[in-house]
Structure 1
């Protein structure tokens, strides 16, 4: 009797293994139709997915809408602040424009330090050994280019004309380490802060803005432009934005680091700013 049960268990085990192997073979075999258990499970899963899909999407959409409303609120708040500042700046610009017109009328001069005629030019040469110092353009004396004229891009100032030949010119970049490469500039703000752009920090990839009074309040991201007082550049040409400010060793002045508005490493098309208002140097010639 025990031997019979042992044989019976062995037979059941063998039959089970055979059925398992058969089922595996059926499931791996490419078939045109599914078995009814497979169809039942697949249909059940599909129904459950459809039942829960829309509520899940609705809940997710609800939270997404809340997040969108919050983002819209924050954006509107920022835009409102900018609009308020824009209105204030527009009012100040209008007042300054009116004052300038009155002063020019009194002085009998139509030109201003900001006025210049642009002349399009293209970069035709750049020496890798003097990458931060000089570039060559395809305009020269025949096109009216003169020494010390400002060179700009659509983003801002990049340098000045160092030497001129008949059909080409050499431009000294803002990043040139030449000690005579100085630019009179000021920081735009409620109070005008003057200083000099002289030098370039290669590590910070920034211009060095010196001679700033120690009590001057300069903030990050303030815009630095040409003052027009150096007798070379027109007034108001954008130089860059302040990225850092440090006091000097004696605490008498401050030095700001200015990120150039124009990409000095990628220059192709430029404009020569032919200043219309005569400077003292021009009048003496």
Structure 2
């Protein structure tokens, strides 16, 4: 499990007030996030509308409680990480559906929680403004419907962060196809930028809920972001013609990973840079 891009060891766990008695196994936060949930007789695909909820999938924190995890490989503050996000926390947050079954986001049911990071497990830094159990909810498959029972064939990338410029208000009332497009192949989760606390890397993550809180965060997993090869827009591991097609599809857009020179818009200069990177692995 060494060098794995997720949590591989539970350092400590304290169940706080209000932590669900049935969800107090911290080992469930190890490994990758869940793509399916439910029972054998009533299976569910994990989508932004039906999150992981089984006792072997999530751990409940509770007020005054905490969960400390060691990562199999450190999260690195790398300029090659998409959107500057270095680490992703996955919970069982989920959207309400305002379309009566079609998968159109309304409210996000989330239970907060503080995210702390540390390189040595001794000195901790609180990530400002981040909610461990918060938007964006997990999406397990690109080609599964919002309330499907069977998994899709195209898994999302749990190491690819969502664009942090996309907020709940951007998704509200969209149809599910547009929600999938907004996720852009990501599995969702809450992004963490180590630069926000001045850390170059982190080996440890702690999720805690302050004393007196009225909600209990439930945590599924923590993933280290995969650094992008310059120009590898689809994350295939090589810069090729598919990336050219991806860039052309983003032409003229702002807040896009295809904005390779960070000018604020995808344009001909980005295309030139991409052509110069063809074949990079």
Instruction: Report the TM-score when normalising by structure 2.
Output: 0.24
- TM norm structure 1: 0.24
Give the structure with the higher percent helix: 1
Higher RCO (CA < 8 A, seq sep 6+): 2
Which structure has greater strand proportion? 1
